[in-house]
């Protein structure tokens, strides 16, 4: 049992229903003649990449469509983080077989992390697939499509040390027109022992800060009011400027400040922070700017120092608690904090599991994304450790972690009752067109009667009720 299949995101319970797969809801208005349908799985970096792919292919006469039946090119941008993420894509491919038999001209491409992990094996195992393209090879898509149209199967899974797609303006897919994601870096150098990302995304590299600020500025001019800076480990963002003779380094704290200065009405979020890298400088920058959201996604993965060591997270329980204390000290009790946890990692004992639960009791996270350990081939854990916690035990521990998180989410939400928050309106509530929804600084979803307001506006909302997932209130002037 898993709450969600991906976690690098700034989403709430409200959004979770839509998380696993995002299809394009609005068709691109374009004079392009060919139709492209793209489906994204996994984390927000993949969703952001799909927007880059749409942009690259627009140059090649493709416009996106939400109707799979009218597309001549179907792309699945895939995730490999856990086995069930891959299973989902395999099932989806099975469903596409009859369509491909009926419409011989349809081409199917697999993009993203599963493409990178499985490479040509994917073509052998899934006959319906025409093209396999890794996350650093999207500029080559037009050539690969040509090869496929010439009747060949096409593969490009080269990983790059430089590619950041910095110059490509993403085409915003499935957008509410108010909030957007900006990739600030790619890859990961951390080598957590359970994780496939370093193998599917390659080496860590940061994107030119000027291109990030430019993208944020353009989004603001188009009416967007919130950007989320994305990376597997944003706190290790680092750009060496060569503009002056003197070497000038832009850190993540510097970048946050640069984006916050785009406009005080542009909210800034970021994800994911690695506990080993988040610095006081980052925390003070968050404190300094009202438009940087007081919310930190700080995955712990486990509360046991022994397990953290086996996971190669490079911090222990005490270090993690030290970071939490520092966040509370600098940003106050109100700062939202969320977690990722893995239940049943190799050799995890009942005592280790209790350490996870007690860490949760200490922190009282606002939200969490929780998973049963899934062994991934060729990762250090798969090579060196035994996946020896039986499934029933993994699932029981996971259920306990989820139950505890629900309690804490409710408790934290109840603390909001009677308070007034500045909310950025993102659209109508899913349940009614008489209600709007939006989030506060702490990333909590708030629902309230619409009055004369609309999306993209900031309003002050007084909270009157809550569940563990949502706050309910009304606008106060």
Q: Would you call 331 helix, strand, or coil by DSSP? A: helix
Q: DSSP strand E in 157-292: where?
A: 179-183, 185-186, 205-206, 226-230, 238-241, 248-251, 267-271
Q: What contacts 20, CB < 8 A, 6 or more positions away?
A: 4, 5, 6, 41, 88
Of 138, 175, 179, residue with least CA distance to 156 = 138
How far apart CA 6 and CA 88 sit, in angstroms, is 13
DSSP string, 429-442: -SS-TTEEEEE-TT
* Per CB under 6 A, 450 contacts ligand SAH: no
Question: Scanning residues 227 to 246, which ones bind ligand SF4 (CB under 6 A)?
Answer: 232-233
Instruction: Give 192 or 341: the residue with its C-beta nearer to ligand SF4.
Output: 192
With 0-12 / 13-18 / 19 or more C-beta atoms within 10 angstroms meaning exposed / middle / buried, residue 425 is: buried
Q: Residue 198 binds which entry of ligand SF4, ligand SAH, ligand F3S, none, with Cβ cut-offs from 5 to 8 Å by kind?
A: ligand SF4
Among 236, 272, 285, 416, which residue sits at the site for ligand SAH (rule: CB under 6 A)? 272
Residue 329, burial from CB neighbour count under 10 angstroms (0-12, 13-18, 19+): exposed
Q: Please report, as residue ranges, which positions from 270 to 299 form the binding site for ligand SF4 (by CB under 6 A).
A: 274
Q: Is 293 annotated as a binding residue?
A: no
CB nearer ligand SAH, residue 11 or residue 266: 11
Binding to ligand F3S (CB under 6 A) within 101-160 occurs at 112-113
Segments of 316-393 assigned E as strands = 336-343, 367-372
Shortest gap between Cβ of 190 and ligand SF4 (angstroms)?
4
**Is 466 annotated among the ligand-binding residues?**
no
198 lies in the binding site for ligand SF4 (CB under 6 A): yes
Nearer to ligand SF4, 43 or 52 (CB): 43
CA-based Rg of the chain, rounded to a whole angstrom? 22
The Cα–Cα gap between 80 and 86 comes to: 6
* 179 scored as a contact of ligand SAH (CB under 6 A): no
Please tell me whether residue 371 binds ligand SAH under the rule CB under 6 A: yes
∠ Cα 361 5 153 (to 5°)? 155
H or E element at residue 399: helix 391-414
Region 273-312 residues binding ligand F3S, contact defined as CB under 6 A = none
Q: Is 195 flagged in the annotation as binding?
A: yes
Q: Identify residues 401-440 at the interface with ligand SAH (CB under 6 A).
A: none
Q: Is 195 in the site for ligand SAH (CB under 6 A)?
A: yes
Q: Is 188 annotated as a binding residue?
A: yes
Interaction of residue 200 with ligand F3S, rule CB under 6 A: yes
Nearest Cα neighbor of 296 from 304, 307, 287, 309 is 287
Binding site for ligand SF4 (CB under 6 A): 188, 190-192, 195, 197-198, 232-233, 274
* Residues in touch with ligand F3S (CB under 6 A): 6, 8, 42-43, 45-46, 79-81, 112-113, 196-197, 200-201
Binding site for ligand SAH (CB under 6 A): 7-8, 81-82, 194-195, 197, 232-233, 272, 274, 299, 301, 340, 342, 371, 373-374, 376
């Amino acid at each position: 049992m898993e709450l969600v299949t991906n976690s690098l995101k700034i989403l709430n319970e409200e959004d979770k229903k839509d998380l696993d797969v995002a299809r394009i809801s609005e068709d691109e208005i374009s004079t392009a003649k060919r139709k492209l349908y793209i489906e994204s799985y996994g984390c927000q970096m993949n969703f952001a990449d799909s927007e880059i792919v749409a942009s690259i292919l627009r140059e090649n006469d493709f416009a996106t469509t939400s109707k799979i039946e009218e597309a001549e090119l179907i792309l699945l941008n895939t995730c490999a983080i856990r086995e069930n993420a891959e299973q989902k894509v395999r099932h989806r491919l099975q469903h596409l077989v009859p369509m491909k038999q009926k419409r011989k001209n349809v081409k199917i491409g697999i993009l993203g992390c599963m493409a990178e992990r499985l490479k040509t094996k994917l073509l052998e195992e899934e006959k319906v697939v025409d093209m396999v393209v890794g996350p650093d090879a999207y500029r080559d898509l037009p050539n690969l499509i040509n090869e496929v149209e010439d009747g060949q199967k096409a593969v490009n899974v080269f990983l790059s040390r430089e590619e950041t797609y910095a110059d490509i303006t993403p085409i915003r897919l499935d957008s509410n027109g108010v909030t957007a994601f900006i990739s600030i870096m790619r890859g990961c150098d951390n080598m957590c022992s359970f994780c496939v990302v370093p193998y599917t995304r390659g080496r860590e590299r940061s994107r030119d800060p000027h291109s990030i600020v430019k993208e944020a500025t353009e989004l603001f001019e188009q009416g967007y009011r919130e950007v989320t800076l994305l990376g597997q480990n944003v706190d290790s963002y680092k750009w060496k400027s060569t503009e002056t003779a003197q070497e000038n380094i832009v850190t993540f704290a510097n970048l946050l400040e640069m984006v916050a200065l785009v406009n005080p009405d542009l909210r800034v979020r970021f994800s994911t922070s690695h506990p080993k890298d988040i610095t006081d400088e980052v925390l003070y920058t968050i404190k300094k700017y009202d438009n940087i959201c007081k919310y930190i996604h700080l995955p712990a993965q486990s509360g046991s120092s022994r397990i953290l060591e086996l996971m190669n997270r490079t911090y222990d329980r005490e270090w993690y608690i030290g970071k939490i204390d520092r966040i509370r000290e600098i940003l106050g009790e109100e700062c939202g904090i969320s977690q990722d946890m893995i239940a049943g990692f190799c050799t995890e004992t009942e005592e280790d599991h209790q350490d996870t639960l007690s860490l949760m009791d200490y922190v009282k996270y606002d939200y969490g994304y929780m998973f049963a350990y899934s062994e991934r081939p060729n990762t250090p854990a798969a090579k060196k450790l035994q996946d020896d916690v039986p499934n029933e035990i993994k699932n029981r521990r996971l259920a306990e972690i989820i139950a505890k998180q629900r309690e804490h989410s409710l408790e934290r939400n109840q603390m909001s009752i009677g308070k007034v928050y500045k909310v950025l309106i993102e659209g109508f509530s899913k349940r009614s067109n008489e209600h709007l929804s939006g989030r506060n600084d702490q990333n909590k979803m708030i629902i309230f009667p619409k009055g004369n307001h609309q999306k993209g506006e900031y309003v002050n909302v007084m909270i009157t009720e809550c569940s563990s997932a949502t706050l309910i209130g009304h606008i106060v002037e």
